[in-house]
Structure 1
Amino acid sequence: MNDLTITTSTGSTGSTRVRIAGEIDIATAPHITDTVHDTLAAGAREVLLDMADVTFLDSTGIGAQLHTKHAAVDQDVTLRLVDPNPRVVRVLQLTGLLDVLQDGAALHASSGSSAQPVGSAEPVDTAKRSGP
């Protein structure tokens, strides 16, 4: 059984902290996206994903974080990762997503173009290539 605890609190500055504890995997990731979507629907202007007590993060958890980031950007809300545990930091460093999630860097809206971190040196070429 996968243990996951999610709590939310709103600070005096209006930031909503979503504290996540336990394992983020295929069974638990949807709970995180649901919580963040509910937080956005409630009118949050900044969402802080507190992952200090996350003990495991798989690709589904990474996808959930990116999904919530895109949802926040679509609503002009800042969403960023705070206090990640070293295991989470390592996974996000390996995928190149740590700065995007931790520093609150915005993602380009996906209006027909590929999403990429702001400040990326090279545009992402998503055109399909045919032949050798």
Structure 2
Amino acid sequence: MVKVVVVGELDVYTAPAWRRFLLEQLDKEALRHMILDMTDVTYYDSTALGATVLTLEKLRRRQGVNCQLVVVANSHISRVLTVTGLTKVFPLVDSEEAALREIESLTLLDVPGESCRDGEGGKEGEEVPT
């Protein structure tokens, strides 16, 4: 598992770097789950959202259908994910503790042949400059 702490704005200007960063995380780690702590994100537009969705799709293609990105969100991020219907795709929580509980529940649901493959990890949060 990797925890990523995001600070600032994720928009059309920062989305390419955001996308590269997320994909690099997938390449560096045999990830099962990722926590995106977005409580300090002040703006989040559709280009950055698209990069986040792409990351989840690639994670699931590489590691299995039960792998997940869990979003720790402030009210702005919650509104964006709710309006776009993506709360059905990304578990949305209000704290890191809740994110860890969500990941634990997903791990309990792993089904042979469809679960996430075992990965290395345990890396603490990296702050993403925006």
Partner Cα separation in structure 1 for residue 71 and residue 46 of structure 2 = 19
CA root-mean-square deviation: 1.7
Q: Tell me which structure has the larger Cα radius of gyration.
A: 1
Could you list the runs of 5+ residues in structure 1 that have no partner in the other structure?
A: 1-14, 105-132
- Residues 25 and 58 in structure 1, CA contact (< 8 A), matched pair in contact too: yes
Q: Scaled by the length of structure 1, what TM-score is found?
A: 0.61
Could you list the runs of 5+ residues in structure 2 that have no partner in the other structure?
A: 93-101, 103-130
Match for 1:18: what amino acid? Answer: V
- Pairs within 5 Å for 1:11-90: 15-42=1-28, 43-76=30-63, 78-90=67-79
TM superposition outliers: structure 1 runs of 4+ over 3 Å: none
Structure ranking higher on relative contact order (CA contacts 8 Å, 6+ apart): 2
Match for 1:45: what amino acid? Answer: R
- Give the drift of 1:95: 0.7
Match for 1:81: what amino acid? Answer: V
- Residues 51 and 81 in structure 1, CA contact (< 8 A), matched pair in contact too: no
Structure number with the higher helix fraction is 2
The total of aligned residue pairs comes to 90
Q: Scaled by the length of structure 2, what TM-score is found?
A: 0.62
Match for 2:82: what amino acid? Answer: Q
